[in-house]
Every structure is written in C-alpha cells, then in structure tokens.
Amino acid sequence: MRSIKVLTVCLGNICRSPAAQGILEYAAASRKGIDLQLDSAGTAAYHIGSKPDPRSIAALKKRSIDIGYQQARQVNNDDFAYFDWILAMDESNYQHLIAMCPEPYKNKILLFGSLPNSPSLGEVNDPYYDGEKSFEVMVDHLMALSDNFLAFLDSSSK
C-alpha cells in the first residue's frame, strides 16, 4: 500500500486546516487500502506555534477526534515538492498557494470542495469570527469533504 502525503491549508492554521487534518486521519483509519500522512499549514504566519482554536478542538472532541496535539505552521516552499496533494479550504487560499507554488507542482493543489470528477461541495467558511455553532457547521462540512476526497483517492488509484 502506497502512502499518500496530504497537506490541508487555510489562512492561519488554527481552525479549518487542523480540523480537516484530524477528520481525514480519523476517516482514513477506518478505510482499508488508504495510508495517509497528513499535516496542515496556513498561508499566513499569524499563529505559528499555536494549538488549534479551542472551538475547533471542542467541536471535534464531540466526535471523538483529537487535534489538540497539532501546532500551527506556515506553508513553505518544500511543501510543494513533498506532498502529493495540497488541499485549500477556500478560493483565497487556493489562489495564494497557486501564486507561491513552483510551476511543476501546481497540479497538486486542489480546492478541497471542488475535486476533479466529483460533485462540488463548496468552500469551507472560516468560523474564526463567528460563534461555536459555526465550528459545528465547519466540522459537518469537512466530514463530507473528507469522505469525498477519500472516494476521489479510491477512484484515482484504479
């Protein structure tokens, strides 16, 4: 079984991308034949070294997913060569990644909610400035996106 390296990316790496990493780890663990190596990062340097937002941690803990061990970091140039897939949470971060990515690696960058040959599930809204309910909505959305991504990987490997 081949290991697939995936980086999830949002703006500050404390809400959406660490949640996406945790959900993908959880979802992939229950699927045979998929070995994911996951990490998350932000396009901005706002929260380097910080733990995920406590509201993200709490929303995922309700689903038995622990992301409290993660630490925020910023995307770096080595990520583009290292990871097989780089999943942007929204169009703004997608465009930022495309702009900073060396040409040979641009095909690795995908908008998480708009995978090739898959139904579009839209952008992941940033819940940072909203209430706790927004984090629950984010988790539900990320769970659907993660299932969609794992199905995409299954179909890509055939």
Q: Among all residues, which ones are annotated catalytic?
A: 10, 16, 126
- For 1, the token pair is 């079984």
Side by side, the strands of the sheet bearing 3-10 are: 35-42, 3-10, 85-88, 109-111
Q: Is 11 helix (H, G, I), strand (E, B) or coil?
A: coil
Name the 3-class secondary structure at 111.
strand
**Could you give the CA distance from residue 49 to residue 63 in angstroms, rounded to a whole number?**
25
